[in-house]
Each structure stands twice: as structure tokens, then as C-alpha cells.
Structure 1
């Protein structure tokens, strides 16, 4: 996946920044509690900082979760520019009678495209759980109660973004990814882009996009350049101006950087910034005052902590303030867990019900101290094995091994193992996503118990499995 650089490189000093200040920023990211995986800073169109914490790599595509929404916004803006729809079109006009409820409430009838874009649909809570990624997601969304008048209440709503993707597909005859390929992804060089597709054949829109760090930086630079790229206007300037501006108030949110206003699938942030962000710490942050864009991929349950590090350590550098020198670590890496080598196993294969958070279906611990873990793909049930052994990360390939991952992501995985008494402790890093799993395996007679732990998850982060007879 390695390719020629699409953004020019420069020294920080040539772009009005200090290497000392950026070193201090990297050091602060490395020392912080949130796990950082990659970072890239672009100033005046030049990359002045790019780092990856091994085994993560800048060229690997990365699951972006809700950063996907900002790309969906781009697709809607292009469709509006093409005359296919307007902000004030009713949502129900795009769907067939068999998808609509028998009785259309006044609030559903009043819901417009702009309400989907601004997360003001009138629903009392995010609709994504109600949709459950069912085969009839459009129909379910349209059948949900719209308790409030659209436009009166901000409620973060990934289901609304799914509906935007569905509308673009209905109007263009192609899914959102295919629609954006020649208009956005290919001009930016983001040809590696993949996007999850629902069971009813619609790109998920609000989540599921995977691209690499530099592709996301190109998108961030496109925003700063008001939709212009290499002399061509890819996206209307007025669309990005509106999308990244405050369209609605969202001061009903708790964290300070999530209550500065919301645009068209973009957040407003403190210090006159805007951003797309995704679960567990995926960011594209625009600093229009300083002509800079920052990309971070990471794994954390505390996204505000990462933004606080940006405000405390990067913002002063952009402002030209003096920064206390702090040397960056000689090597940026996330090391494999250490411990004694596992004792040899019995070579038997223990079977599990694969309906668990990591799709684990079988474990075999061999006499040589290695373990083979069989997984079932969440999308199609196909099996694949990953081997764990002591020492440094062992690189392999897998597909869709963690719930919420698409078949296209998670293709690169690293594993390691150590022994903890009678337990075999295996660690898996799906390095095209934030997910890390630790599986502690113990055998008692003819039964194996696996205590699992996920670093981040939309559900429980801990679970216990017992082998089937």
C-alpha cells in the first residue's frame, strides 16, 4: 500500500514552526494516557510532522468510525451542487411507499435534509441502536417516533447520516463510495478507501470508512483550501464554508469541545477550530487561523484528553509561543507485553460459540508454547487462524475479526503471547483499527476458559468464554 507522497514535505522552521515545539508535542502525546497510533501535521500545505507508533504505520488504512460522517457531508454537498436535491427537501420524498409508515406524523413530514445534516431530526436519542444494522434500516428509521419538532433539538444521530447515504444512493444510482471515488477519493489519491455496506446494500455513511493517515491529511487540506485541489474545485467552497461553520447549537453536550456548535456533519471546537472525529480517538482537526490541519489516529475512551494535549502543546507552537524543550523518545512504539514464555499445551482444539465480541471459535495450545486461535468473520462466517507465540510482535493477516470491523479492515494483525502461571496470555492488535484484545486461556480437565479483555468497545470490554463439549 506504500505510495508516493501526495503532500509536499518541509521542515517546521520553513513553515513558521519550531522543531523543538513539535518534539515537545510528540513527547506529550507519547507520555499521555491515550494510546496514539499515528499523527500528521500539515502547515501551509506542507507536511511538517509525521509519526507512527510501531507496529502501526502511516500507509495502512485505518478505520475512522464517525469521521466518515464528514465524507458523507461531502457527498451530499456534491449532490446538491449537481442539482439533485436541496437542503429543504423533505426526507420522506426520497423513499417509496412501502418504506414509509402507514401514518406519517407531522414531525416526520417536517424532517428535511438539513435536519439530517445537523443532527436535529427530532429524535430523542441516537437511532443507530434501533436500526441494529438490520436489513431494513431505512424502513426502521422512518418508522421511529419523532418526538420533537425537527430543528429544535441537537441529538447526535448516526442513523441520520445513514439516511443521507441512502438518499445519495437513491438519487445517483450508485453507493456513496462509488459516487465519491472519481469526485473525491481518486483526485486526493485515496484509492485505498473502503467503506462498510449495510445488509440492504447502502454504504453506512455514519461509520465504516477506512483510509490511511495521509489520505485523511489530504482531506483536511482540501477543507482548508475551501474544496480546491491542485487547481481544480472538487467541492464547492460555499459547501465547506457552511459545513464547517456552526449551524446549530449543541450546548446540551457535556465535554467542552463537543458543545461549541455543530455544522453539516462537522463539529466546531474551541480555539476557532472545526473537526471530524470518530470513536476511540480518530481526528481531522482544522485550524483555519493558522492554515494547519492535524490528523490523529489512536485508541482511547477519553477523546477529550487528546484534544487537551493538542490545546496545551500544539496550539502554543502554532501561536509562535516559546515552548519548554522536551526531547521526543528515540523510538515511538507500542511494545509487545512481556513475561515468561508460555508452558507447552496439550495440542487439543477447544471449540467455542463464535457469537462473542471477537468471533473466537477455537483455541489450540501446542507443546512448543505457541497457540493457534481460530476466528469466524463477522460478515460471512468464514474461518481464519492467527498464531500467537512469545517474543516480539508476529505479523499476520486477518479479516473482520473484531465486531464493528468490516471485512476489508483488520487485514494486518500482530500477535504476541506470554505465560502467567498455568495461563496462556495472548494479545492481538488489529492495526488497521483501534482494537486490541487480550485472551487469557486456562485448561482445567477437558475444558478451556478464556477471559477476554478489549481495550475499547461499544459494549462490554471484558467477557468470559467456556469451551463447548
Structure 2
């Protein structure tokens, strides 16, 4: 865990001109729609007016941001441009000449920083998996080798590879790793002393994914953007870049292709930021959000395991009507009490402290977190259990309380119970949106371990229990 200190001042909602009832209505809506939030922070007029974490998530714990990471990479690009080291018109083939394939196409030669930032290189779909398969040791080269379906600059296609290449370009021109560059220029000046990064096997940061920050650090980033790149008396990011990056550069089709409403992903795309019906936002899979609404002097940071559009709808319909409508001190107290008591539901059942079981894992489910045949042992300990998952993963599980262990470096927070002859436990990989539901049947001596939502870096629990996570750049 990181040491906790405040990055933003606090205020009661009423004192900041915000209705606490509107925040309560937002929480009610999320609960009614079964949106699994992990944290929320509302900042109005530069002050935090509401903050809450659903246990076992907590304020001082960094959380995986998935593609919200892209917005931070955009800021790194803007800083390199401001330093005179890069320009929007610079071509990939000129900045990274050692990654250019011999058979690069004319269009591949024309791809610039602008095309990468706006995701308008011209590929028909996200190129990541295909480019990696084509060039297992050089994603940039694979990207340039793939055929293009549209002229550069004419069509937006959400493409993770573009941000990976931008990260490499920033590193090439600055001579610094992306994490180190952002630490020096953004995070440390903001007071963020703990930014974790998942990495590809080479050791490089993904760029398009993998940043872990606390909720308050995300909110402080949004506040930095809202203030035009200024933090206190320091201009950390040029105002011109903030305006350029968060403005609309290209129209975009709905983010989903299943026909569902995705209104806030159809308003246009900036430079690694999405335009919204109100303001703009950085977005990461499963509902990691940094929402900035300049018209209402409002920033909202959310971490979750759910659908981002559900959260955005709730913001517009429940939260915005309360801006500028201060409520009563009593309403503020009711909201503060509710925010203090937020919790995800623990596994119901009994402790049965004398009972132990060993079993073999059935991995037939597509979302299995462990290999087929893994030995699973559940032994009672003081007020809980020690669960052994194969030879490497020993996880402590509490009953009626959360227990933390770090078998391979990354914390896992767990609680469980016996339900008749079946032991059930939820294992939260707590710096991510994901958890594993472990079910052990003492009668059949079989077990399953399935993800609530499958991590985009694959199903292996062992991989995700390691810190830092290191894999090839294969995030879907």
C-alpha cells in the first residue's frame, strides 16, 4: 500500500454549492442498476465534496486504470512537444527508424503523431493482436506492416497499438522511460508519490494500459486538466495542450458493436480522450473513469467493475442537477455516513472452524483462474482459513472480515464462508477491478475458481498475483 496523504482540499457539499441529495441519488441509481463501483470521488470548485470506497477497496490503494492510462500518455506527448522534442507532424518512420519494416507501405510512411493520438492511422480494427502476431518481438513494426483500410486522418478506429507507439516515441526523444518521465513532470509535482505500472516482457510500460493510481490521484489529474494544466502556482502542462488534447479531432462510431446505447462514446475523440455529452473523459475498461465537466466546475473519478455508460448516465441525470443547489447540513451528514459504510456484499454462510477439505480444480469454465487439476486445500485458521491453490498461491481468507495476503507480490484480499458442504470465497485482486470466486465442494472434492470478469491480460491468477504484472502487449 502507498502512504496516504491528501492531494485535494475537502469541503462539505453544501459549503461548495453542491446538493448532497444529488450525490445520494447517484449512489441510489448505481445500486439500483447493480453497478459494482469500487470508489467514487466528486470534486466541485476544486474541493472534494464526496468520496467513498466500497470495502474491501480503500482510499490508499492504487487501482488498475486500464485504458484511462492512455490519457496520461497523451499528456506525456504534449510535454515532449512543449519541450521541442516532438511535433504533431513527426512521422513514426523518422522517430523510430529501427522499427520500420523493409516493406513498409506508403501510408505506413505517412503515419504521424497526430494520427496516433487521434487513432486515425487507417486500420480497420484494433491492430494490437494482429500486429503482435505478425511481429512477436516488435509491435511497432507489426503495426506498420498491417494493411490499411482507410486513408490516414479520415476515420477513427480504437487502436491500442497507437498509444504503445506514442509511448515509445516519447521515450526515444526524451531518453527517459514513460513512467520516469511522468513521475518527474506530473506525478511528483502533483504530490503523487506512488504510481505503479504493469509492463510488457521487455520491461517497457504498455502506455495504453497498466497504470495504477489511487482514486484521489485520478481526481487530482482531472482537476489539473480542468485548471488548464495548472497546479497551484505551477503550470505543469501547457494550457494549449490540454485544450488540444481534450478537444474533438474526429467523429467516432459507438464504442460498442452490440447495438446498446453508448452515447458518451459517440461524441467524438480527441488526443486519447473521449468527448462526452458534458465535457470529456478518460476511460478504462470495466468503468475506470476520469470525467471533467468544465461547464459545472466538476471532476468525478470512479473505479469500478461495470459499464462506464451506466455511470455516466447516472452522473448526468442525478449529479448534474445538484450542481449549484446547496442542501442542508443534515443532508450532508446523511451522505457522509452512507459513504463511510459502503461495502461490497461478503459471502454469506458459517465459519465451521473444524472443517478442512482438499480438492482438485475443474477448469472447464472459460473464465477459470487456475489450470485444470490444480490442488486446492482449505484449512481453518484463527477466525478464517488458509487456502492453498497449487504450489505457489497461499491465500488467507477471513470470515466476516477481509484478510490480505500477497503470495506473489500483489495483494489479494479475501473473505468466505461455508454454505452447507460447500466452501465459497471471494478473492479480490485488490489493485484491479477483478475478483475470483472460489467454490470447493467437500462432498465431491472438486473445486472451481472463476473470474467475475476476465482480466484483459488473460485468465491466469498466478500472472495477476505478481507485481508488476509482466506480459506481452496482448490486452484486448
Aligned to 2:232: 230
Aligned to 1:372: 387
Measure the CA separation in 1 of the matches of 2:359 and 2:347: 25
Cα deviation, 1:45-77, whole Å, max 9, x if unaligned, reads 111111111121122111000110000000000
Aligned: 1:179 with 2:181: yes
Q: Is the 8 A contact 2:380 2:386 kept in 1?
A: no
Measure the CA separation in 1 of the matches of 2:314 and 2:367: 35
Aligned: 1:395 with 2:404: yes
Cα deviation, 1:265-320, whole Å, max 9, x if unaligned, reads 0000012x1000111111100010111111111111x2211111111110111264
Shift of 1:342: 5.7
Q: Classify 1:131/1:208 alpha carbon distance in 2 versus 1 (closer, same or farther; 3 Å).
A: farther
SS at structure 2 position matched to 1:203: coil
Q: Classify 1:462/1:209 alpha carbon distance in 2 versus 1 (closer, same or farther; 3 Å).
A: closer
Aligned: 1:452 with 2:462: no
Aligned to 1:20: 21
Cα deviation, 1:108-132, whole Å, max 9, x if unaligned, reads 1121111110011111111222355
Aligned: 1:70 with 2:71: yes
Write out aligned runs for 1:118-267 (5 A). Answer: 118-131=118-131, 134-251=136-253, 253-254=255-256, 255-267=262-274
Measure the CA separation in 1 of the matches of 2:351 and 2:275: 49
Aligned to 2:51: 50
Q: TM-score, normalised by structure 1?
A: 0.86
Higher relative contact order (CA 8 A, sep 6+): 2
Aligned to 2:302: 296
Measure the CA separation in 2 of the matches of 1:265 and 1:312: 26
Measure the CA separation in 1 of the matches of 2:62 and 2:94: 36
Aligned to 1:95: 96
Q: Classify 1:285/1:359 alpha carbon distance in 2 versus 1 (closer, same or farther; 3 Å).
A: same
Shift of 1:146: 2.3
Among 382, 386, 400, which residue is 2:395 paired with?
Answer: 386
Q: Classify 1:356/1:299 alpha carbon distance in 2 versus 1 (closer, same or farther; 3 Å).
A: closer
Measure the CA separation in 2 of the matches of 1:393 and 1:196: 25
Aligned to 2:290: 284
Aligned to 2:115: 115
Measure the CA separation in 1 of the matches of 2:220 and 2:254: 32
Measure the CA separation in 1 of the matches of 2:46 and 2:280: 17
Q: Is the 8 A contact 1:107 1:148 kept in 2?
A: no
Measure the CA separation in 2 of the matches of 1:57 and 1:85: 39
Q: Is the 8 A contact 2:19 2:324 kept in 1?
A: no
Q: Classify 1:3/1:346 alpha carbon distance in 2 versus 1 (closer, same or farther; 3 Å).
A: closer
Q: Is the 8 A contact 2:39 2:215 kept in 1?
A: yes
For these two proteins, the number of residue pairs brought into alignment is 440
Measure the CA separation in 2 of the matches of 1:90 and 1:194: 30
Aligned: 1:314 with 2:323: no
Aligned to 1:380: none
Q: Is the 8 A contact 1:454 1:461 kept in 2?
A: no
Cα deviation, 1:304-363, whole Å, max 9, x if unaligned, reads 11111111110111264999x89657421113110244686666575899x985356542
Runs of 5+ consecutive residues of structure 2 not aligned to the other structure: 257-261, 461-476
Measure the CA separation in 2 of the matches of 1:180 and 1:460: 24
Q: Is the 8 A contact 1:30 1:332 kept in 2?
A: no
Measure the CA separation in 2 of the matches of 1:57 and 1:332: 10
Measure the CA separation in 1 of the matches of 2:165 and 2:4: 34
Q: Is the 8 A contact 2:362 2:446 kept in 1?
A: no
Q: TM-score, normalised by structure 2?
A: 0.84
Greater shift after overlay, 35-44 or 450-459? Answer: 450-459
Q: Is the 8 A contact 1:166 1:203 kept in 2?
A: no
SS at structure 2 position matched to 1:366: strand
Name the Cα RMSD after superposition.
Answer: 3.0
Measure the CA separation in 1 of the matches of 2:457 and 2:443: 25
Measure the CA separation in 1 of the matches of 2:345 and 2:32: 14
Q: Is the 8 A contact 1:343 1:419 kept in 2?
A: no
Greater shift after overlay, 249-258 or 182-191? Answer: 249-258
Measure the CA separation in 2 of the matches of 1:225 and 1:57: 27
Measure the CA separation in 2 of the matches of 1:260 and 1:45: 26
Measure the CA separation in 2 of the matches of 1:68 and 1:375: 33
Shift of 1:418: 2.4
Q: Is the 8 A contact 2:118 2:250 kept in 1?
A: yes
Measure the CA separation in 1 of the matches of 2:128 and 2:177: 19
